[in-house]
Structure 1
Amino acid sequence: MGYRACFDIGGTFIKFAVVSEAGELFLQGKTETPTKDVTMYIPQILSEKVAYFREYYPIENIGISSCGIVDHNKGVILFSANIEGYSGLPLAHEISEFTGLSVSVENDVRSACLGEMWLGAAQGKENVVLLTLGTGVGGAIIQNGRLVSGAGNLAGELGHMSIIHNGENCPCGGKGCFERYASTSSLIRYYQTIVGKEESIDGKEIMSKIKQGETAAIKAYQEFIDYLSTGLVNIAHLFNPECIIIGGGITEQGESFINEVNSKYKEKVMPLYRESTKIVLAELHNDAALYGAFVHAGNFVKK
């Protein structure tokens, strides 16, 4: 049985595990992402963890999921807004030098999409889109079994497709971006606008207020679902995937959430797409990117 050392590097934590070809996770855990001298400490942390893994399992190679924009061909972090000083790090080369093993590096949302294809909501499917809803909206696209990276490794920035002409300003420099209307952050903003004050609240608290029947929370949620469904329709019409997977904390609402999304989506989408493109919930949650790291480390998806 093959074993790979897999990592998921985020702005707050680095998650890790030995992943088997049967999809089992061993020696799983997490450590805080360093905030200083990251070009030295991140390779060091990962390499030391690989050495530890090798005491217990015959590690074949290494898969790394990372926040930011990644050149997966070279294993270089092109840009990261979440980890200061991380941009430009030749991560694959550094880890390979330390360990002597081959190293694959891919963006975290793309990794999560690969994980869902292997063991999650998209098993057996060849055409898949993943959306992650949080502070922003992340995206990944797989067509005919191939991860779509684009000419500059920039494909999949679905959160920055414009859905409102001359809409709200986005930190990316654009206007009317999807994530300004369909992220968890936007749901919070809708609620604050309706109640007339910027009280400190998170998405889970708003969902709790909805269950309690609070009018303001319900109205904010309906606006959020309306914009989210508009983006989903655009994605369906553009790519016609077998499924669009939605992940992120807000999806913990489960069936009630996905049923409302599907209802609004089917109102708007062209009739032929209602059956060919399904909207489904992510299944692997916080482990998706670790599973995806195993996949791209083994070239599971054709390149």
Structure 2
Amino acid sequence: MDYIVCFDIGGTFIKFGLLDRNGKMIFKDKAMTPKSNLQKSLPEFLVKRVKLLQNDFQIVGIGISSCGLINHERGEVLFSNNLPGYSGMKLAEILFNQLQLPVSVENDVKSACLGEMWKGAIQGKRNVVFLTLGTGIGSTIVIDGKIVNGSHHLAGELGHTVIVSEGRPCGCGRKGCYERYAATSALVNDFIEEKKKHGEVVERISGEEIFKLVTEEDPIALSVYKKFIRFISIGLTNVVHLLNPEAIIIGGGITEHADQFIQDINIELKKEIMPIYNQGNIVYPSHLGNDAGLYGACYILLKKLNKLQV
């Protein structure tokens, strides 16, 4: 049996796994992402893992899902603000030169979207928008079964569409970006600020913990949560009217075990969109969770090897 080694490179962790050509996950693990001398330490980490697996498995390729802006045709990292020293790395070329194996490299959100199309929530759908809510908002647009990359592989940045004129400053340099109001980090920051207004200091809390407070009907959590849902729906209304997708899939840790969250978004969205667009629920949670990027990396590599019919 042929196997593919897949990596999902993030700012904190590198998840890695071994999958067969049918998309069956043989095993998975994760390790801390190197933080220094990345041009040397990161390829060394990846090569070491592949060589260890080659002792026991017939490895036919390497699939990589990565944070940052990626030129998937060249397998090159165009820019990454999460990992200093990562921008400009010709990752596919480096790994091929050391291992003589085919390598594919794609952006992590696009990889996760493809993973969901192959084995998850988007199977059988051809017009879809996929979002991940976290520190920011990652997004991918699929039209007629193909990811929209744009002329310079930069298309689909819904997180940096403005929904509030002269609003909150964003790391991209603009103000009022969607992710400053609808990312998990926005929910957390708003909750902490509201607590401060009520004389309470909260130093750290997660989106999942705020959701738990919502279910317990904590008044501050409920107030912040309702605004959060409202902002999410504003951005998704624009998506629905612009692209008319079959489905909008939301991933990220915040969506795990959060059925009510998805239901609340659908309820609010139906209030906002024009009636002709209202064909029932359109927002659904990711099925593959944090493994979606690994499945997507495998899918892309199999396509590259012509071992997957699409």
TM-score range, shorter chain: over 0.9
Q: Residue in 1 aligned with 2:219?
A: 215
Is contact 1:240–1:277 with CA below 8 Å preserved after alignment? no
State the Cα distance separating 1:198 from its structure 2 match: 5.3
Question: How far, CA to CA, are the matches of 1:128 and 1:3 in structure 2?
Answer: 29
- When residues 72 and 123 of structure 1 are mapped into structure 2, their CA distance, relative to the original with a 3 A threshold, is same
Question: How far, CA to CA, are the matches of 1:252 and 1:31 in structure 2?
Answer: 22
Q: Is 1:236 paired with 2:255? A: no
State the Cα distance separating 1:126 from its structure 2 match: 1.2
Q: Is 1:167 paired with 2:170? A: no
**Which letter maps to 2:71?**
D
Between 1:136-145 and 1:275-284, the stretch displaced more is: 275-284
Q: Residue in 2 aligned with 1:270?
A: 274
Superposed CA deviations along residues 61-96 of structure 1, whole A, max 9, x for unmatched, are 111000011111111111111111111100000000
State the Cα distance separating 1:290 from its structure 2 match: 0.1
Question: Which of 196, 199, 202 is equivalent to 1:199?
Answer: 202
With the length of structure 1 as denominator, give the TM-score of the two structures.
0.95
State the Cα distance separating 1:242 from its structure 2 match: 1.2
Q: Residue in 1 aligned with 2:183?
A: 183
**Which letter maps to 1:236?**
V
Superposed CA deviations along residues 5-47 of structure 1, whole A, max 9, x for unmatched, are 1110111111111111222112321121111111111111111
Is contact 1:230–1:268 with CA below 8 Å preserved after alignment? yes
Question: How far, CA to CA, are the matches of 1:129 and 1:191 in structure 2?
Answer: 28
**Which letter maps to 1:8?**
D
Is contact 1:66–1:106 with CA below 8 Å preserved after alignment? yes
**Which letter maps to 1:274?**
N
Question: How far, CA to CA, are the matches of 2:66 and 2:118 in structure 1?
Answer: 19
Q: Residue in 2 aligned with 1:51?
A: 51
Alignment of 1:3-14 (within 5 A): 3-14=3-14
Q: Residue in 2 aligned with 1:70?
A: 70
Question: How far, CA to CA, are the matches of 2:284 and 2:208 in structure 1?
Answer: 20
State the Cα distance separating 1:277 from its structure 2 match: 7.3
Question: How far, CA to CA, are the matches of 1:93 and 1:250 in structure 2?
Answer: 35
Between 1:48-57 and 1:97-106, the stretch displaced more is: 48-57
Question: How far, CA to CA, are the matches of 1:277 and 1:213 in structure 2?
Answer: 25
Between 1:210-219 and 1:271-280, the stretch displaced more is: 271-280
Question: How far, CA to CA, are the matches of 1:301 and 1:291 in structure 2?
Answer: 16
Alignment of 1:1-303 (within 5 A): 1-195=1-195, 196=197, 199-200=202-203, 201-275=205-279, 278-299=282-303
Is contact 1:242–1:277 with CA below 8 Å preserved after alignment? no
**Which letter maps to 1:81?**
N
State the Cα distance separating 1:105 from its structure 2 match: 0.3
Give the number of aligned pairs.
302
SS in 1 for 2:256: helix
State the Cα distance separating 1:189 from its structure 2 match: 2.3
With the length of structure 2 as denominator, give the TM-score of the two structures.
0.93
Any gaps of 5 or more consecutive residues in structure 2? none
State the Cα distance separating 1:184 from its structure 2 match: 1.0
**Which letter maps to 1:203?**
G
SS in 2 for 1:275: coil
Is contact 1:241–1:277 with CA below 8 Å preserved after alignment? no
Is contact 1:77–1:90 with CA below 8 Å preserved after alignment? yes
Question: How far, CA to CA, are the matches of 2:287 and 2:201 in structure 1?
Answer: 33
State the Cα distance separating 1:233 from its structure 2 match: 1.0
SS in 2 for 1:272: helix
Is contact 2:162–2:177 with CA below 8 Å preserved after alignment? yes
Question: How far, CA to CA, are the matches of 2:240 and 2:183 in structure 1?
Answer: 18
State the Cα distance separating 1:276 from its structure 2 match: 7.5
**Which letter maps to 2:139?**
G
Any gaps of 5 or more consecutive residues in structure 1? none
State the Cα distance separating 1:193 from its structure 2 match: 3.0
Superposed CA deviations along residues 158-210 of structure 1, whole A, max 9, x for unmatched, are 10011112211111011110001101111122222323155222212211211
What is the percent sequence identity of the aligned residues?
Answer: 46
